[in-house]
């Protein structure tokens, strides 16, 4: 009988993934990752999540274990997260966590216990030319291929996604009908494995905040920021800017961060300054065999909660230059550009630069 090791988070998705595999006749093992060392009274929910994992595995009737990858998470994910913020960029630690932890050290460890690994991600998997390819989930509102875009092809060998063909409502119904304690547990949010917390206070524990000037696009000083790392392109809330004499009473938004002079640049209006016509990635990770010419058409997302946009992609080695069919707002360095061809996620790369003018492409 094939043994499948399920990455158990203490949430409803991984709980149902384990249940479905058990029902399908697999020999299932639950494995919980503890990846963040929290001071007493902190916001991390690891102890509560581990208790839920034990309860679910007991209900299903499968063995369960815990493994600590806090050191690896700190070195491979969190250190990069801090470095990116120090550079004034806006990183996505969930993408890196999938590559380095869940489908990195966790997968390697799990395959010493079983012959396959499964998670509760909303996505699907298939093979093309004997290589795994990543597919979108049936429930596109929950699809998580964006967060798996930097996972290497070989990391998806011997991997299963039992929820790929289910809607979230079906998953909760299955959990309820089978008496799983996690059936009504809310979806996790916040930073991967660190959880929900007051972001500014959390970040200030690791990076010194340096207040500075806020200026508008005409160079006029209109306020003071509390530290450039706390702001991202397109941000409208939390700027602390009141009414400014001579300006229409519209909302202000961030259009640039000048690290050299420690200045936050804002504008008031409709956001034309945030529009870009294309981008370049630092590198690009293709998942599975890709039969595309050097230049090709597909769709793309530049942040998770965004519909796919028509683009033209030109590859130069592992560097992707992506031209948008329509100008896009607030394309942010440090985030990921993820490509799609129909139902298939082709992969992704970190956004290095956005082009404010078509002539730059």
What confidence tier does 7 reach under pLDDT thresholds 50, 70, 90? very high
Same domain, 168 and 41: yes
pLDDT, residue 41, reads 45
Same domain, 173 and 62: yes
What confidence tier does 75 reach under pLDDT thresholds 50, 70, 90? very high
Helix axes 168-177, 12-23, angle to 10 degrees: 70
| Number of domains making up the chain | 3
DSSP reduced 3-state for 242 = coil
* H-state helical runs in 121-214: 168-177, 199-204
Cite the active site residues.
Answer: 97, 192
pTM: 0.91
Same domain, 109 and 11: yes
Mark which of 236, 270, 304 sits at the end of a domain: 270
Same domain, 222 and 258: yes
Asked if the structure places residue 126 within a domain, the reply is no
Asked if the structure places residue 10 within a domain, the reply is yes
Region of poorest pLDDT, from 190-204, 252-266, 343-357: 190-204
More confident site: 241 or 166: 166
Asked if the structure places residue 49 within a domain, the reply is yes
| Alpha-carbon span 309 to 325, nearest angstrom | 7
| Alpha-carbon span 171 to 15, nearest angstrom | 9
pLDDT, residue 189, reads 63
Same domain, 239 and 295: no
Predicted confidence (pLDDT) per residue in 269-313, tens digit: 767 889 999 999 988 999 999 999 999 999 999 999 899 999 999
- Asked if 13 and 164 count as a contact pair (C-beta separation under 8 A), the reply is no
Q: CATH number of the domain that 97 lies in?
A: 3.40.50.620
Nearest to 180 by CA among 5, 10, 3: 10
User: Which residues sit opposite 195 in a β-bridge?
Assistant: 191
Predicted confidence (pLDDT) per residue in 115-168, tens digit: 999 999 999 999 999 999 999 999 999 999 999 999 999 999 999 999 999 999
Q: CATH number of the domain that 258 lies in?
A: 2.30.30.280
Same domain, 173 and 56: yes
Same domain, 258 and 291: no
Asked if the structure places residue 198 within a domain, the reply is no
Mark which of 223, 255, 270 sits at the end of a domain: 270
Same domain, 32 and 12: yes
Asked if the structure places residue 156 within a domain, the reply is no
Same domain, 102 and 10: yes
Same domain, 228 and 310: no
Same domain, 107 and 34: yes
Asked if the structure places residue 47 within a domain, the reply is yes
Asked if the structure places residue 135 within a domain, the reply is no
Asked if the structure places residue 51 within a domain, the reply is yes
Share of residues in the chain with pLDDT > 70 (%): 91
pLDDT, residue 40, reads 46
Same domain, 233 and 110: no
Structural domain that includes position 343: 275-360
| Alpha-carbon span 123 to 22, nearest angstrom | 19
| Alpha-carbon span 298 to 309, nearest angstrom | 8
């Amino acid at each position: 009988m094939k043994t499948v090791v399920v990455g158990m988070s203490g949430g409803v998705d991984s709980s149902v993934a384990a249940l479905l595999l058990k029902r399908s006749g697999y020999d299932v093992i639950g494995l919980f990752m503890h990846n963040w060392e929290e001071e007493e009274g902190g916001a991390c929910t690891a102890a509560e999540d581990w208790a839920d994992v034990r309860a679910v595995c007991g209900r299903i009737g499968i063995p369960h274990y815990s493994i600590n990858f806090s050191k690896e998470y700190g070195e491979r994910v969190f250190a990069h997260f801090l470095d990116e913020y120090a550079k004034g960029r806006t990183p996505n630690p969930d993408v890196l966590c999938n590559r380095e932890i869940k489908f990195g050290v966790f997968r390697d460890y799990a395959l010493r216990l079983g012959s396959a690994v499964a998670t509760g991600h909303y996505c699907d998997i298939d093979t093309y030319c004997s290589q795994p390819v990543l597919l979108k989930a049936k429930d596109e509102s929950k699809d998580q291929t964006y967060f798996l875009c930097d996972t290497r092809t070989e990391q998806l060998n011997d991997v299963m996604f039992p929820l790929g063909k289910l809607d979230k409502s079906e998953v909760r119904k299955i959990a309820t009908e089978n008496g799983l304690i996690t059936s009504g547990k809310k979806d996790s949010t916040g930073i991967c494995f660190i959880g929900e917390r007051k972001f500014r206070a959390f970040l200030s524990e690791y990076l010194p905040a340096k207040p500075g000037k806020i200026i508008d696009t005409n160079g006029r000083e209109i306020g003071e920021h509390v530290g450039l790392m706390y702001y991202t392109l397109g941000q409208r809330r939390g700027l602390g800017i009141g009414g400014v004499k001579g300006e229409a009473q519209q909302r202000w938004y961030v259009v640039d961060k000048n690290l050299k002079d420690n200045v936050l640049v804002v504008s008031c209006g409709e956001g034309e300054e945030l529009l870009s016509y294309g981008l370049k990635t630092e590198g690009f990770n293709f998942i599975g065999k890709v039969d595309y010419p050097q230049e090709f058409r597909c769709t793309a997302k530049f942040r998770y909660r965004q519909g796919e946009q028509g683009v033209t992609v030109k590859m130069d080695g592992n560097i992707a230059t992506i031209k948008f069919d329509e100008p896009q707002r607030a394309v942010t360095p440090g985030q990921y550009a993820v490509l799609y061809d129909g139902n298939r996620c082709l992969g992704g790369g970190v956004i290095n630069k956005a082009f404010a003018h078509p002539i730059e492409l």
